[in-house]
Amino acid sequence: MSVNQQAHAGPPYGQPQPGYQGYQQPAYGGQPLPGVPQSQYGAYNGPMPGYQQPVPPQGYFPSLGFPSKGSPVSLNSDTSSLAPNFIGSLRAPPTSGAPPPASGASLPSGHLAYSQFGHGDVQNGIPASAAPMQRPPASQPFLPGSAPTPVSQTATFQQYGPPPASVQQLSNHMAGMTIGSTTASAPPPAGLGYGPSTSVPPVSGSFSATGSGLYTPYTASQGPSPTSVSQGLPLAQPLFPGQPMSTQRLPTQVPGFVPPPSSAGIGPSSYPPSTGAPRPPTMPGPPLPGQTVAGPPTSQPNHVSSPPPPSTMSGPHPGPPMSGLHGPPPPTHPPQPGYQMQQNGSFGQVRSPQPNYGGAYPGTPNYGSQPGPPPPPKRLDPDSIPSPQLNELPPQQKPRHRIDPDAIPSPIQVIEDDRSNRGSEPFVTGVRGQVPPLVTTNFLVKDQGNASPRYIRCTSYNIPCTSDMAKQSQVPLAAVIKPLATLPPEETLPYLVDHGESGPVRCNRCKAYMCPFMQFIEGGRRFQCCFCSCVTEVPPHYFQHLDHTGKRVDFYDRPELSLGSYEFLATVDYCKNNKFPSPPAFIFMIDVSYNAVKSGLVRLICEELKSLLDYLPREGNMEESAIRVGFVTYNKVLHFYNVKSSLAQPQMMVVSDVADMFVPLLDGFLVNVNESRTVIASLLDQIPEMFADTRETETVFAPVIQAGLEALKAAECAGKLFIFHTSLPIAEAPGKLKNRDDKKLINTDKEKTLFQPQTSFYNNLAKDCVAQGCCVDLFLFPNQYLDVATLGVVTYQTGGSIYKYAYFQLETDQDRFLNDLRRDVQKEVGFDAVMRVRTSTGIRATDFFGAFYMSNTTDVEMAGLDCDKTITVEFKHDDKLSEDSGALLQCALLYTSCAGQRRLRIHNLSLNCCTQLADLYRNCETDTLINYLAKYAYRGVLSSPVKTVRDALINQCAQILACYRKNCASPSSAGQLILPECMKLLPVYLNCVLKSDVLQPGPEVTTDDRAYIRQLVTSMDVAETNVFFYPRLLPLTKADVDSDSLPAAIRNSEERLSKGDIYLLENGLNIFVWVGVNVQQGLIQNLFGVSSFGQISSALSTLPVLENPFSKKVRSIVDMLQVQRSRYMKLIIVKQEDKLEMLFKHFLVEDKSLSGGASYVDFLCHMHKEIRQLLS
């Protein structure tokens, strides 16, 4: 390995050592959820026929399903009667010797059998991802963009097992999970459902059944050990404040994670309704599959719209998980009344009903109005485990445990732990194979030879030496590359290196560019390539002597020898036709058909362009932008405008022969904004007037792109078309489309056709656009089906962006559209780009995902590449790798800057190689893995039935986890689910992908939404998919109005919401503000400016500007989140029990979804079953 690889001390080139201002770490802790209703049992869904309903014993806190004290729950708490690997009989054995009562036994008075939310409703789920740290706007493109909201799972997993015999039964199996392979408490005496009533103190370092283990901080070298999802997943923080951390890392294991006995029904209500139990009328249950909920069509992913057809829930779905989460946060606040404190994942306490298990707290809607007595804090000593003392319970009442959602790995905890462990130190890239902090952590990067994780993230930083080992583990080896990523202001942009006419120094054989890993030999006269080992002469002008370590003496003066990322000025050899490019052009093409004019859109665009043209992108020190602009309007014909600076008034030329498109003028079409300012202003004033009375409703589309392409060809430059389009192009013209939307194809083999373009015309057009460097950005304003799958083809293959505003209304959507347009016009973009990824011998790039075109197997071509786009590359082995030399990647991007300069941007990354599977599993990055898997699945739907794609995803993840269990985990009972520490969130995040709108649409999700989200996710970065699939949920009422930090995030589940609070949920496409029915009047007045809950308007698209601390704080949080995302998020106000609440619940991704998606707990059980099948 080359010497230059050592981490060098000072920052190269005197890079400033930035401080970390602006990155406050929010305090974290399980916040109290005020107001939990008093309900006798945790989660009860009506009497099971055949079971007696015991009277509540004393010692029960009304809001907990358990008495306040109890004996330790031992590992397989239910094993007295069931083998650890018991999957579940049809119905649970009676809990005591009493004969089962006749079916239809009545409930104890005061108990309603069903929760008001109906079983389909999801009641508990994962906390939203962690509170975002405040970060400077430019910082790490933490821009989870829009992505499909997780579609709820369809009935694929309908029934993972027979219906639960009782809500609590499952938990029995999981209640006692240990976290290492050892349990501190003794095995349960035969015949008792619970462990011994005497408590055994936990052995330090091991996790007792109660989860009393200690967690240790994760150090890079030692790598986390497996999380066993059992009592307590090891987290990197002490379990509760003040508890010391032990230094040993145990596997996160979910001991006792016996797939729930017959109680794991994961489909929509998989249990028999209990007989004779009336169901309180209060909240209407979820709509049945065919039924829509009236209300604004919320179906637009980024856009939940409000006007027309009722199509309730479709909006964006839960955003990507917030990046790498690791485990529930240790509580730092007093427990909420009625809720157990959130604690590092030990299993053990029943919470409100699991989505699939029973309804919510009986009789009261999931959140209570008056706080019940606060539960005792959940400590980790066995004594306080809330399982009832056997002798305190009446004979028939040995309640069965349900899996405690707090006991399974929590994304919020994982995010929080990573922030506290890795957010304060800069990430120095000098060492090979270092796993970076999670995307949700705010950290500073110091480039010392490897590219920043803002540019490249890998699924694993330690890759198997052989292909056999890679196949065995099934962990995909992939890199998510964002070549033009925006850096925070404290980090240095890549240096631009100019080698003059000779151009950059490269390897003779493989053409890799000079980088820190090249080895200089023979006194510096030659260098050996780190990629192909070929030896190349050093050009005379580049010669430099070596020091005593073999390093060149100018090592620190040359970015290409000491940094992971840098740019070269390209010579004329790197340009098209061997001549330097002209500066690019922007052409604005506006649909002026009836819909566009009537909605006010045309006038809005023209007004905005008058000022926006002063903000075109320009090189750092230039006075004005070099980009020229042109204007076209169209309906069934095209209108070109001559805006030459010498004209007094603009001139219009109409091309009505759309079958043979040409540009009627050359001179005066593309102009410099400053020179033609008055003519352009006059044109933009006149366009809305000229078409004010139009009656033309039909539009063309392909000829519009052809016109832009021809104009750029004539001007011999690259550029971008900004097309504003409203309807399906049905006018007679090339590329004419028909309405082929057909919901009946869903769940059939023909469903894939909905994602494919209906004609190959656009693929050919895209190819021509790429050849010219013509990138297309599309702004869509549909009121009905528009065929995004076909219209988006050119945008997608040219590297452009699609924005969609369904049912566009000026008053509610104007802000979002204008913000998106401004950012799209101003952002950094490279034109006529070609990217190639080189690797060292042993692996090669075999597959690519993203918005681009490929004419061969190695070059990724993009007419335009902006700072938000990523290209995901998968690698496969073609030979053996060695642990000594590791593996190298070099991504080279050739592009034209916005000033017309041809440049090469180079990113290098070195990875470790391993011969032991444990090293692979210790160095994976789950967020990047999910990003890759989502893109892989979203491409799969183009050619395979959606069910096949979903099954393949589940199977691959089960294989990854089974391989770990078999080869890396210490032996333990099959009843335990053991997850690698780095992958303990794989199940929860994978479930979010499976439930996303693309893979499991609810009835209200339109075909266009699915196509839109599919394209969007394909070029998202890791931070964007993270929040897209696992949205961030923040309790606004807990925000500290005096600090700049965000309130600590909570898990995405309805059971985490309290009626008396206000929450914000964001997924990169939408921001929901959920208001509980019991929120104090003062808060409502301060935030909305009205005096009562009933007066809050759901139609608000912005929060009113009020002069009080709470209003200012909430608006500043919203602004802070908007800055972090690449798209402007739509703000939606959701009042509890209002029709929009259905849409909001769609994003509570830990809960069961209306379209059949499993809850997190159920999916975890399902994964466990799959893993056991693979192992047996």
pLDDT over 60 at 242, yes or no:
no
Minimum mean pLDDT range among 291-305, 893-907, 979-993: 291-305
Statement: residue 66 has pLDDT above 60: no
Run of H or E including 653: strand 651-655
Task: Give the model's pLDDT for residue 314.
Answer: 41
Closest alpha carbon to 1055 in 121, 54, 188: 121
| Alpha-carbon span 1003 to 988, nearest angstrom | 23
Separation between Cα atoms, residue 881 and residue 627, nearest integer Å: 47
**Does the pLDDT at position 49 exceed 80?**
no
Q: Average of pLDDT values for 821-846?
A: 97
Number of residues written out for the chain: 1176
Contacts of 339 (CB under 8 A, 6+ apart): 30, 32, 33, 36, 63, 351, 375, 1056
Nearest to 301 by CA among 996, 1032, 796: 996
Tens digit of each residue's pLDDT (9 = 90 or more) over 475-533: 999 999 999 999 999 999 999 999 999 999 999 999 999 999 999 999 999 999 999 99
pLDDT band for position 57 (50/70/90)?
very low
Nearest to 990 by CA among 937, 943, 922, 941: 937
Which residue shows structure tokens 């401080």?
Answer: 19
Torsion of CA 968, 974, 979, 985, to 10 degrees: 160
Structure confidence at residue 794 as a pLDDT band (50, 70, 90)? very high
Mean pLDDT of 638-644: 97
Report the distance separating Cα 49 and Cα 47, nearest Å: 6
Give mean pLDDT, residues 570-585.
94
Residue 1070: per-residue pLDDT: 96
Exposed/middle/buried for 884, CB within 10 Å: 0-12, 13-18, 19+?
exposed
CB 263 within 8 A of CB 119: no
Q: What is the 3-state secondary structure (H, E, C) of 247-307?
A: CCCCCEEECCCCCCCCCCECCCCCCCCCCCCCCCCCCCCCCCCCCCCCCCCCCCCCCCCCC
**Per-residue pLDDT at 21:** 42
Query: b/e for 219-233, b at 16 or more Cβ within 10 A?
Result: eeeebbbbbbbbbbb
In angstroms, the CA 506 to CA 536 distance is 8
Q: Above pLDDT 90, what percent of the chain?
A: 63
- Mean pLDDT across the stretch 81-92? 37
Tokens describing residue 565:
């990322």
- Residue 97 is predicted with a pLDDT of 43
Mean predicted confidence (pLDDT) in 766-790: 97
Looking at residue 302, what is its pLDDT? 55
> In the structure, what pLDDT confidence band is assigned to residue 253 with cuts at 50, 70 and 90?
low
The candidate with the shortest Cα–Cα distance to 60, out of 48, 52, 69, 51, is 69
Phi, psi of 693 (to 5 degrees): -105, 20
723 membership: H or E segment, kind and range? strand 719-725
- The single-letter DSSP state of residue 363 is T
Q: How many CA atoms lie within 13 A of 326 on its CB side?
A: 33
Mean pLDDT for 828-856 is: 97
As a whole number, the mean pLDDT across the chain is 77
Q: How confident is the model at residue 405 (pLDDT cuts 50, 70, 90)?
A: confident
Residue 924 is classified by DSSP as B
pLDDT given for residue 1126 in this prediction: 95
* DSSP designation for 1060: T
For 838-862, what is the mean pLDDT? 96
Q: How many CB atoms lie within 10 A of CB 9?
A: 7
Model confidence pLDDT, tens digit, residues 684-714: 999 999 999 999 999 999 999 999 999 999 9
Please report, in angstroms and rounded to a whole number, the separation of the first and last CA atoms in the chain.
43
Average pLDDT over residues 774-801: 97
pLDDT of residue 973: 85
pLDDT reading at 551 higher than 60: yes
**Angstrom distance (rounded) from CA 27 to CA 687:** 53
Other C-beta atoms closer than 10 Å to the C-beta of 553 total 11
Which residue has tokens 């508890």? 243
Average pLDDT over residues 393-422: 77
Give me the torsion for CA of 521, 525, 529, 533, rounded to 10°. Answer: -60
What is the pLDDT confidence band of residue 228, given thresholds at 50, 70 and 90?
low
Q: Six-digit token pair at 264? A: 């794991």
**Using 50, 70 and 90 to split pLDDT, how confident is the model at 164?**
very low
Nearest-CA neighbor of 786 among 753, 740, 752? 740
pLDDT band (50, 70, 90) for residue 833: very high
Residues 1032, 132: Cα–Cα separation, whole Å: 8
Average pLDDT over residues 225-245: 42
Q: CA-CA distance, 289 to 991, in Å (whole number)?
A: 21
- Give the Cα separation of 963 and 960 in Å (integer): 5
